[in-house]
Structure formats: structure tokens, C-alpha cells
Structure 1
Amino acid sequence: MLNKVIGFAAIGLALGMALPAEAGTLKLAHSTWVGYGPFYIARDKGFFKDEGVDVDLTVMEDTPAKMGALQAGQVDLVASTVDEFPIYMPPGKTLRYIMAVDNSKGGDGIVARKDIKSITDLKGKKVAFETGSVSQFFFNAILKQAGMSENDVEVVNMTATDAGVAFVAGQVDAAVTWEPALSQGANSANGHLLLSSADKPGLITDVVAVTPETAATHQADLKAFVRAWYRALEFIKTNPDEANQIMASGVGGWLADPVVFKQTLAGIEYLDKSANQTFFGSSAAPGQISKTLGYALDIWSEKGRIQAKIKPDDLIDYGFVGG
């Protein structure tokens, strides 16, 4: 889920190399993450085809290339966190969020020294996280809620794993990271869990986005895609062991072992139809997605990551979560 922000030059490269998507088939790109496992259940159990759509699944770890391919039509859908998409939108280009995938419920968080009891206690302290990442977004959103900003702490830029290691070694006062580094830091001699994503539901949520053109011309296909996702989640409830085998094999990489997949799964929750409808809300009464996206647009704009002025409603399409 975490990817380093590289910049718009890489997007331009991806745009130049992009090829058109195959007619009649939707192509979905995602990184190696436990949240994307149900896509493989929908594929392997035939739910996509049953609902009337063919979906090709591709693992793409390079975020700028993945986002550039989406804009160029090389892929039709991309799964990533709510906050990440706006960073990679070229001037004059927007996207449409059509469905929420999973919500972090403790898999991400902040570990701190035991004498640091609250977010405000972090003032003047060394806090490690990767700049340009979802960890930075999460931390900044928490700071905003506490009436603080990054200027109130000493930022130490390093990957999530390295941040956890540095914290356990006593090199920093706190770290924004995820599992397993999160538990390692919380269980270290001088550390504890200050706050996790379970305390702030909806801030770290994966969604699926498409271009406005795809949303307009493939409405039936995208609704079929959403219905197949919901069916996959029902399959997980009734066949958890088989589901974990399918998902681990499909996602692969560091999650290829079903045991590791199951352990990692404990840090998230998949979002079914009811949860999607609550998370999205409606144009008249927007849900949490609008708040989370609002935080993202504010935070990344302040840091010069977003080139255009955008409002949450410019990116949210409320018409697909009903399936």
C-alpha cells in the first residue's frame, strides 16, 4: 500500500509508454496488499464473468507508472488509498472513485516512548515516517485533528520498516508505521502503541478509481465489477480457509503464504455493500470518504504535491456502490 512519491516526470514516461486496454475486458492494477485478495476470488470463482464482465488483474508496484497507465488507458481501474490518487493527477485530469475496498483497522499506527501519552506530547520530538506516503498523510490528518502540524515535530524521513527499527533502537521518539513493525515497536521495552488506524476509521482506506471516460462509457461493466466484489466477500465469510488460499496465491509476493496472508488480514476489514454505502454516502449527504479526501487534498496541497484545485465531489462517484 505504501509507495514513495516520485513525481510527475515518471507519470509522463508511463503515459508515453501506455497501450490501449483490450476491448471488452477491464484491466485492474494494484500493488501487493492483503486488501486486494478478494479480486482474485471474484476472478477464480467466476463471479466477474457471472456478473457480465471480464477483469484482468495485474500487480504493479510502481505507483507513478500505475497512475500514468490509468490516465492513458493502459489499465482501466487502479486500487490504492484514498489520499494517493490526487498526487498523481496531471493538470486538467481527474478521476472517479467508484468503490471502497478495505479499511485499516489497526494495521497502521503510531508507536511512541512510554512517557508520550498523547499526540500533543509529540511536540518537539523526533518522529520517523516516509514522506510522501500514506503514513505521512495519516500522521498529518491526526495532527490536524489535534490542532498541530508537522512544524511541531522533528521529522525523520525513512521507510515504514526502517522507522520501526529506528524506534526500537531508541533513535527516534516515535514512528508512524504498520505491521509487523507496529507491534514490534509497541512491544519493545520502552515503547507503546500511541494510536492506531482502529482509532481513526476511514482515514486509511483503499478504493478503486477510474477515469471519467471509463465511468461514463463502462457503467454496466463497473457495476458488474462491484457486484462481483460483494459476492467475493460473501464467499470469504462462508469459506475462509479456501478464500485465504485463493487470495494468497493470487496476490502473491510476500503474502503468498496463506498463513502470512491470514495474519496480515487481521489488520484490515473488507468493505461490503452496506459499508460502501455508508462510507460513500450520497451527493446530498457525503460519507467519510469526502472527509478523508478533504484531508488529503488539504495536506498534499499544502506540501505542493497537487497541481490543480480540486474538491472531494470532483472525484467521488456515488453511482456505483449500489452494484
Structure 2
Amino acid sequence: MVSRERQKILGSFGLLTVALVMAMAVALFSACAKPPQELRISSLLWPGYEPLVLAETLNYFDEAPIRVLDYLSNTDAMAAFKNHRLEAGAFTLDETLQLLADGVDVQVVLIMDTSHGGDVIVANPDIASVKALKGHAVAVESSAVGAYVLQRALGLNGLTLDDIRVKTTHAMEQKQAFEHGQVAAAVSFDPYRTQLLQTGKHTIFDSTQIADEILDVLVVRTDVIEQSPELVRTLVAGWFKALDYQRRYPENAAGYALPRYKVSLETYLDSLSGLRFTSLAKNRRLLAPSDSPLHALEPKLKKALIKLGLVDAALQETALLKGHLNHAFLPTP
């Protein structure tokens, strides 16, 4: 029989063991839940994302460990996101739906802008309209938004992807594809749109014909939001500070961008006319968790993505955005 004294010792030892195990578990959990050392955000050479770079340049992130990284395409950025090489990213809404469809848990924390003529299809002079593309090769990036613009343009003009030859081409390589006679048209955006127009191409379709369908959004991993909410708040606040600076001092803001875009001041400012930056008030409406207009837009975007083979058809009736619109980080008025 075990003495009471020994029982007390064993009991104390058992409690100590449990306490040690619990402490180790808490330490392990804390290590796993450790906030990221820096918030890495994907961006592109695209005027709609430029306030992110401007905020970093003007130190509007208040010395927080936030870093904006340039990618050649959002296809590359999406791959990096899936491989945990990014904590946040600037994507179009349809690309965000792709991420969610692929099981990447993100929150939309900001609606950056809406394309209003900034996404276009340009063509050779002998191609007078979208309908005239039938039988011709069209260059498009291997990204959701480029494919979406092309599919919508064809659909509005009684054509399908089967009526044309799709040539997957990076935006910066489209000029060369035209010169070599490989394509008759291309889905493009600035600064490449301007370069193509300067060589004699003309616009046969632009995003004003699909108003409010192409939105740029800022997404952040849900686990990062949970671990570092103040970092996300600083990121969104920095965006609005930069947007205000760009509105008040457009030429100064453009001056920071010109070395990267390698275009004239006039050309860069003109490219901004193809965008509508989203106000704080409109952000509040669009990011409303339950009654956001984006919930009504989702099925249309998803239908196009399914036709393109970018989203599984089984997800057509799944509300991917539900629970992933987050207005909590918007600045207070």
C-alpha cells in the first residue's frame, strides 16, 4: 500500500508533469502562431496598385514591417501566395475567387479600384471590331482577369473562345508578338496598352462595356489577420493616406512612379483615367459582410471562370465570398 506521504509526492509530481506539458504545448502553439516578421504584399506594374508603392515610398506604413514586392504577373503572385511566400496581395476579384476556390483562406480587406476603360483589347488596324476577331489569334496573359475580359468581350459579340485562337503571351511580350505577325489582337492594360497604341494598334473593346465587373482588391491571409491585426490596420490606413496624396498632388505622385513605368508624365496621368479608385464610403458598402453588392456579382464572375476552366464547376452554387469580406480594418471617418 502506498503511504499518504508518497501519494502526496506522486500527486505533486503528476501535477508538475501536467503543468510542464501544458507549458510546452502553449510554447509550441505560440511558436506556431508567431506573427509574421514582415508583411509581404504582391503588386504589379499597374497604376491601380501604385498607391501601395507610394505609401511605402512616403513611409505611410509608419516604419511597420510592410514590404511591397513587384511581380511580372498576378499568375506568378498567386503561385507565390499559395506557396506561403506572401502574406497579402493585390488581385482582381475574379483572381480572389480563384484563390478561395483553391482553398486559400484569405479576407478581402480593401477594394482598391474599379477598371473603367483600363483593361482593353487592342487590334491591328484591319480588325474593326470584336466580331472581326473570328479566326484570328489573340494574345492574352495566363491570368484570370485577361481571360475574363476576353471571354466577356466575345460573349457580348456573339462569339466564343472556339471562334478564335488564343495565344498565351505575357503583356510585355505582346508588342513583339504583333511585330512577328503571331497575333492580330491582344488583351492589354497600361503601361503596355499605351505602347501598343503608339505602334498603330487601336482599341476594339474596353472595360467600360463591363462596368463594375473588374475590381482590384487587397487580400490578406486569415491567419495573418488573426495574428497581426494592427499590422493590417496600418497597411490599409497607409493606402488611404497615399490615395489622398495622389489626389492632392497628382504630378508629385506620378513623379515617384515614372522611373518604373518609363513613360511621360502626361501618358501616366492619362492611364489613371481608366480607373476609378474606391472611396472609403464605397469600401464600406462593398465590404459589408451580409449585403455587399459583390455577392450578386460573384455568380457572374464564377460562371466565366468555370467556362475558362479556372474554377471547378461544382463550386458554381457555393458562395465563396461569404465570410471573406472584412470591413473591420477600414479607417474610421
State the TM-score, normalizing by the size of structure 1: 0.71
Equivalent residue runs for 1:187-198 within 5 Å = 192-198=202-208
Instruction: Report the Cα distance in structure 1 between the residues aligned to 2:87 and 2:298, rounded to whole angstroms.
Output: 21
1:47 paired residue among 60, 68, 76: 60
Question: Structure 2: any 5+ residue segments left out of the alignment?
Answer: 1-31
Q: Deviations over 1:188-225 (max 9, x none)?
A: 77x64222123333333321112222334444432332
Instruction: Pick the aligned partner of 2:304 from 299, 312, 318.
Output: 299
How many percent of aligned residue pairs carry the same amino acid?
A: 22
Partner of 1:107: 118
- Give the counterpart of 1:276 among 275, 283, 291: 283
How far apart, in 1, do the equivalents of 2:210 and 2:224 lie?
A: 32
* RMSD of aligned residue pairs (Cα, Å): 3.9
> Following the alignment from structure 2 to structure 1, what is the Cα–Cα distance between the partners of residues 296 and 157?
16
Structure 2: distance between partners of 1:90 and 1:276: 23
SS across alignment from 1:36: helix
**Residue in structure 2 matched with residue 243 of structure 1 by the alignment:** 253
Structure 2 Cα separation of the partners of residues 283 and 22 of structure 1 = 25
Equivalent residue, structure 1, for 2:104: 93
Question: Counterpart of 1:236 in 2: which secondary structure?
Answer: helix
- Report the CA distance shift for 1:119/1:222 in structure 2 as closer, same or farther (over 3 A): same
Structure 1 residue corresponding to 2:224, chosen from 186, 211, 214: 214
Q: TM-score, with normalisation over the residues of structure 2? A: 0.69
Max Rg structure: 2
CA distance in 1, matches of 2:98, 2:290: 26
Contact 1:81 1:206 in 2 (8 A): yes
Question: 1:195–1:43: structure 2 CA closer, same or farther, 3 Å change rule?
Answer: same
Do the aligned partners of 2:46 and 2:190 also contact (CA within 8 Å) in 1? Answer: no
Change (3 A) 1:315 1:180: same
Distance 1:177 1:32 in 2: 12
- Which residue number corresponds to residue 43 of structure 2? 30
1:198-257 CA deviation, whole Å, 9 max, x = no partner? 333333332111222233444443233222211211111222233223345xxx6x4267
What's the counterpart of residue 7 of structure 1? none
Select between 65-74 and 206-215 the one with higher mean Cα deviation. Answer: 65-74
Alpha-carbon distance, 1:125 to partner: 4.6
Q: Which deviations, in whole Å up to 9, do the C-alpha atoms of 1:128-184 show, x marking residues without a partner?
A: 333445322211133344564312334344344554565578765543223455456
Choose which of 291, 295, 319 in structure 2 pairs with 1:285.
291
Q: Which amino acid aligns with 2:305?
A: W
Question: Aligned partner of 1:214: which letter?
Answer: V
Cα deviations across residues 78-135 of structure 1 (Å, max 9, x unaligned)? 1122222444568543322221223333232123466766544544554333344532
Give 2:235's aligned residue.
Answer: 225
The residue type equivalent to 1:211 in the other structure is: R
The corresponding residue for 1:6 is none
Instruction: Name the residue aligned to 1:311.
Output: 319
Partners of 1:130 and 1:108 in 2: CA distance? 12
Paired position in structure 2 for 1:134: 145
* Structure 1 range deviating more: 311-320 or 229-238: 311-320
Cα distance between partner residues in 2 of 1:126 and 1:65:
24
The amino acid across from 1:200 in the alignment is I
Report the AA paired with residue 37 of structure 1: E
Residue type at the aligned position of 1:59 = D
Query: What SS class does the counterpart of residue 47 from structure 1 fall into?
Result: coil
Cα distance change on mapping 1:71 and 1:112 into 2, 3 Å: closer
User: What 5-or-longer segments of structure 1 have no aligned partner?
Assistant: 1-18
1:176 maps to 2:181: no
SS for the counterpart of 2:240 is helix
* C-alpha displacement of 1:77: 0.9
Tell me: CA distance 1:221–1:187, structure 2 relative to 1, closer, same or farther (3 Å).
closer
Assess, with a 3 A threshold, how the Cα gap between structure 1 residues 137 and 47 changes in structure 2: closer, same or farther.
same
